[in-house]
Structure 1
Amino acid sequence: MARTVLPGGLRVVTEHVPGARSAAVGLWVDVGSRDEQGFDPSSRGAAHFLEHLLFKGTARRSARRIAEELDAVGGDLNAFTTKEQTCFYAHVLDTDVALAVDVVCDVVLNGVMAAEDVELERDVVLSEIAGRDEDPEDLLADDFDDLLLGEHPLAGPVVGSEESVTEMSRDVIARFHAAHYVPSRSVLAVAGNVTHASVLEAVVEAFGDRLTGGIDDGWVRPDTAVVVPTPAQRLAVRDEDTEQAHVMLGVPSLRRGDPRWEAQLVLSTVLGGGTSSRLFQEIRESRGLAYSVYSAATGYSDLGVLNVYVGCAPDRLGTAAGVLRTQLAELARHGVTDDELVRSRGQLRGEYVLGLEDTPSRMSWLGRRELEGARLPLDLTEALARVDAVTSADVADLAADLFDTPVTAAVVGPYADADDLPDELREVAG
């Protein structure tokens, strides 16, 4: 890996991937939906809206030309927004890296954000929100985050709400872009058949006179762990006429970069991270209670969330909730077995290695690591070593800490209110 910090604070990181005939280019900006809350009361959903809008054209390229230039070389161009990051990326042949850098940077830096395009894309985003509202799992995830995180900036859907997107003005979006899309909060990551020198040349050309000045714009995201207050209410129900009952429950957990992060990954893997996990075996294989059951550990800069999802027939929700309660209690009291530890570490090693087999995934590794800080693994070798260093005692201690706290649960299904839920579920979140 090679790294250069250019004037203005833009970080350029590259990795030459031997044998690759392609390259992935990503321009990462350290901004996401969590940054809207302190910016403007009317900006909820602005980060995601802006991601859409920037593809509508620049001073040099129309939206059609942007699409045609990448299509003409067989490349892909896309973007995504999370709660803490936004990434615009292209995947091209190694002969077209300079073009990809130019197009990606042009889109991000020089979007016109014309008033008529704002209205056109507003309808697109509203359609996306409507699609989310028709997906019980998406609704459930948002309800769970809102319940668990309360007033924390990480609560709330990345896409915003129908009300916020409908009312958002072009001025709010443009100011959000000007405030956050600056070199000191950006990373240009490239992985593939490239040289660092050639990428730097293309980046300097694309950024032009923006690469001036100091590297401190005065913005700092919280980088210390926060304690999430226990919600006044730990059970939320959304009454929807669905064939299945969807439930997500979980607890506040470790922030990204915590020294025990790998132990948390092992814990989540043992709990519901694969077909050999406790929840999959108990809920699906042994009892046939649900088709879909899994756990996930998500880390942010200042906190984390460990949650479990189950989707099952409404008349089986009570039995499934009882299994969940039993398994959480067992992990809190007894930790994991030696066999589970070995198996989960092996699963995580495989996920790391297999997840970095192509140039887009390696580009994502570079960009995320550069944004997320030095406490994260420097490379794949270090990441694997950290997983291998996790012990049964590490996991047991963490399980006792996490599952000794009240559990929060959200439900989407045919239930008018919490009184309609089975006793087993109300006891889990009681």
Structure 2
Amino acid sequence: MYYEYISKAMLENCMKVIVRRTKQSRNLSVGMYVNHGSKDENNKNNGISHFIEHMAFSHENMNPNAKKMVGNLLDSGALYEAFTGKEMTRCCITSQRKYLPDIIKTLSEIVKLHNLPDERIQHERAIILQEAETYFASSKVKTELAERALWGERSLGLFVIGNQDNISRFTKEEIESRFRQFYSPSNTMIVIQGDVDPDETIGQIAEAFDFWKSEAVSNPSPLLEVSPSVLGIGNANRVNLTATFVGPSFRSRKRHAMALLSDILGEGLKSRLFVELREKRELVYSVYSYALSYGLGGYMAIDFNCSKESLEESFKVVMNIIDDIQNNGVTDEEIERARASRITSTLQIPNDAVRHLNTTGRYALYNKDFFVDTEVFDLMSVTKEEVREIAREMCDQSNMALSALGTDSESLVTLL
């Protein structure tokens, strides 16, 4: 019999701890998740959460004790990773089980960020500016450009990497003040996954983090404004276009119907978009769709790459396919294929320790527990009628944003 269980605790300092005991696991994964990302920023400080991640979680920038402890873990074979997203900042360590006490003590040292050396700030500033140049010159920018077109220049519409002018001027005082404001126990969660004793582990964390206290700070709730627009950048012979439709947030059950609709449209060799646009008409080189839900909002995006001459025809084919689903629905074969693919992907999560850890952490930030069988049940519960209904609800031009690399905004407007 297969079953999952987790243990949860709220420490005296208001930090949440989640322990998922996986007895079959031979290694250990530990993540610190801070509820702070670009969703909490505005145009004046866009990029500061990413800058703080570099200062707090980069090995070279830590205080001497934390730097030594991280170095010892790396020497013992541990894997270390830090990441900033729209809704959170995380630091994850994967190692052998016997190093759990060392990992806990290391994380408790990492949060002691103060008296940042000016030379380290300047060094990291140069690194981040290079990262920004690389980022905006790569295909990674596509997703965030689509979100900018969907939500505008605030909250989820802001680029995680930040505004380059802001990156160039962030001061030591701004970084340290922001860290104190958002990096508090009440805004932080630790997730541990492996064959460990939950009570013993929670006790170790409580002891290691006893010094850390939450201040009475009332952070404003991030506001999400849906303002679909058209945003095109560049001028090239080929265009990468993304059509984005406002959809349900993570907390809505409709996100599962949106995910299946997305897969039916553009996931895999048998998807409608791939068969029609590439195989039958030879209009595009690549085409796919994806659904993404945040705590604040969600969307479905259709992305394709074609020659500039084929852009108008390709876009019309996309909208005709959507229109057909809205009018006639999807077939039994389509929904079952999409459902099976989603379930297979979900069942694979526990086989990837880091993915499993981060999925648990992400769900917990939304005050939800991640269990494989719950996700499978929700996917099995979606009907063809619900897929058709979500297509009707979402896929309307008044609910759509367009973004593109390779052509300007004026050219995109002519598609509408």
Per the TM alignment, residue 15 of structure 1 is displaced from its structure 2 partner at its CA by: 1.1
Q: Where does residue 61 of structure 1 map in the other structure?
A: 65
Aligned residue number for residue 113 of structure 1: 116
**TM-score normalised by structure 1 residue count:** 0.88
TM-score, structure 2 normalization: 0.91
Secondary structure of the 2:50 match is helix
SS at match of 1:294: strand
**CA positional deviation for 1:77:** 0.9
Q: Which residue of 2 aligns with 1:11?
A: 16
**Residue in 2 that maps onto 1:393:** 385
Matching of residues 4-403 of structure 1 within 5 Å = 4-37=9-42, 42-54=44-56, 55=58, 56-61=60-65, 63=67, 65=68, 67-110=70-113, 112-135=115-138, 137-210=139-212, 217-219=217-219, 221=221, 228-229=226-227, 231=228, 234-241=229-236, 244-374=238-368, 378-403=370-395
Deviations along 1:351-394, one digit per CA (max 9) or x if unpaired, are 111122122222212211211123xx541111110110000011
List per-residue Cα deviations over 1:97-146 (Å, max 9, x = no partner): 121222233223436532211100001110110001211x3333333222
User: Number of residue pairs matched?
Assistant: 408
Separation in 2, partners of 1:235, 1:211: 45
How far, CA to CA, are the matches of 2:119 and 2:202 in structure 1? Answer: 35
SS in 2 for 1:365: helix
CA distance in 1, matches of 2:197, 2:135: 41
CA distance in 2, matches of 1:368, 1:62: 25
Q: CA RMSD in A?
A: 2.3
Residues 269 and 275 of structure 2 are in contact (CA less than 8 Å); yes or no, is this contact kept in structure 1? yes
> What is the rounded CA distance, in whole Å, between the counterparts of 1:381 and 1:261 in structure 2?
17
- Give, in whole Å, the separation in 2 of the partners of 1:133 and 1:14: 38
**What is the Cα deviation at residue 84 of structure 1?**
0.7
Distance 1:333 1:152 in 2: 35
In the alignment, structure 1 segments of 5+ residues that lack a partner are none
Distance in 2, matches of 1:15 and 1:186, equals: 17
Q: Residue deviations 1:213-265, cap 9 Å, x none?
A: 8xx75346469xx6724x4xx32221244x63111111111111112121111
Percent identity reads: 22
Q: Tell me the secondary structure at the aligned position of residue 162 of structure 2.
A: coil
Which whole-Å CA distance do the structure 1 matches of 2:308 and 2:49 have between them?
37
- Specify the SS of the correspondent of 1:191: strand
| Contact 2:16–2:188, Cα closer than 8 Å, also in 1 | yes
Distance (Å, rounded) in 2 between the aligned partners of 1:36 and 1:263: 31
Question: Is 1:109–1:181's contact at 8 Å kept on the other side of the alignment?
Answer: no
Between the aligned partners of 2:176 and 2:90, the Cα distance in structure 1 is 18
Partners in 2 of 1:189 and 1:353 — Cα distance? 20
- Name structure 2 gaps, 5 residues minimum: 1-5
Quick one: distance in 2 between partners of 1:390 and 1:416?
39
Deviates more, 1:175-184 or 1:112-121: 112-121
1:411 alignment partner in structure 2: 404
Q: Which runs of 4+ in 1 moved over 6 A?
A: none
Report the CA distance shift for 1:325/1:181 in structure 2 as closer, same or farther (over 3 A): same
Quote the Cα distance in structure 2 between the aligned partners of 1:335 and 1:107. Answer: 52
Letter in 2 for 1:130: E
For residues 384 and 114 of structure 2, the distance between their equivalents in structure 1, rounded to whole angstroms, comes to: 51
Equivalent position of 2:3 in the other structure = none
Letter in 2 for 1:122: R
